[in-house]
Amino acid sequence: MIPSNFNYIKAKSVDEAIALMDQHGDDARLLAGGHSLVPSLKLRLTDYDHLIDVSKIPELRNIEEQDGVIHIGAMVTHGEIVKSDLIKEKLSIFSQAADLIGDVQVRNLGTIGGSIAHADPAADWPGVLLATDAHIHVQGKGGSRKIAAEDFFLGLYSTALEDGEMITSIGVPVHTGAKSTYIKFMQPASRFAIVGCAAVINGNGARVAFNGVSATPFRDKDVEASLDRGDSAEAAASNAAEGVSIMSDHFASEAYRKQMAKVYCKRALASL
């Protein structure tokens, strides 16, 4: 199908994009890589009079380290994350995750900011952000604020972004000597996660997070507590996804998804 007519606007700065959102209100939508928004428009599931393209704003496309935190601009593509030497050296879990996303075309156009703003439960970044204690930096007409990843994802396609706000960057603390990994059981055509598990062990203890399992990505505190007690990977993974509302769809039943959460958690922990 073909989307309804809309006005395409290419914003040159964050301030201009925010001003345009304020001007057009609910009739406008930000356009990043377009891999979620454009199909929705073509299927007439959504309809906007104005699309504000923010993908080429220079200040949203940097990867840099400041005071022990790596800042990834919201419009950095998955492919750029794969290729970044800084990410490979200090945040290898991000390189792993980005390399598992879609195909080459998706990785070259899709952006980390667009992905987490869309908050698809099967997307890879939410679990990784939770496991790495990341923060999402957002800006709106009222100024800037920083939201912990644990407070950002609220539910199915739902985030803590307020009207008129946009993501500007993701900040991830660097821990020397940390061990981390991200693995997933993927749907073979789309490569979205049926189960995704991100695990990090550093001087502050263990952080284990899942995406694809529930409508909302989550840290698995039972698995983390088991690891912090010194339990084996197998013993800790046996606690995975307990007490969580688990999704069921045509890709995997609730029971199968729960079992795969345990399997992939064990595999992730055993690789650290």
In this prediction, residue 1 has a pLDDT band, given cuts at 50, 70 and 90, of: confident
For 92-125, the pLDDT digits (tens) are: 999 999 999 999 999 999 999 999 999 999 999 9
Half-sphere exposure (Cβ direction) of 20: Cα atoms closer than 13 Å? 22
Q: What single-letter amino acid sits at 257? A: R
- Residue 210: pLDDT above 80? yes
Q: Could you tell me whether strands 50-53 and 28-31 are parallel, antiparallel, or unpaired per DSSP bridges?
A: parallel
Give the tokens for residue 167.
């993501």
In this prediction, residue 233 has a pLDDT band, given cuts at 50, 70 and 90, of: very high
| Over residues 206-228, mean pLDDT | 97
For 41-95, the pLDDT digits (tens) are: 888 888 899 999 999 999 999 999 999 999 999 999 999 999 999 999 999 999 9
In this prediction, residue 4 has a pLDDT band, given cuts at 50, 70 and 90, of: confident
Give the tokens for residue 151.
């407070």
For 10-32, the pLDDT digits (tens) are: 999 999 999 999 999 999 999 99
Find how far residue 148's CA is from the centre of its chain. 13
Give the pLDDT score at 66: 96
Residue with token string 């039972």: 222
Give the pLDDT score at 261: 98
Half-sphere exposure (Cβ direction) of 182: Cα atoms closer than 13 Å? 29
For 149-175, the pLDDT digits (tens) are: 999 999 999 999 999 999 999 999 999
Give the angle subtended at the CA of 182 by the CAs of 177 and 185, to the nearest 5°: 160
Give the pLDDT score at 163: 94
For 172-206, the pLDDT digits (tens) are: 999 988 999 999 999 999 999 999 999 999 988 99
Look up the pTM and report it: 0.96
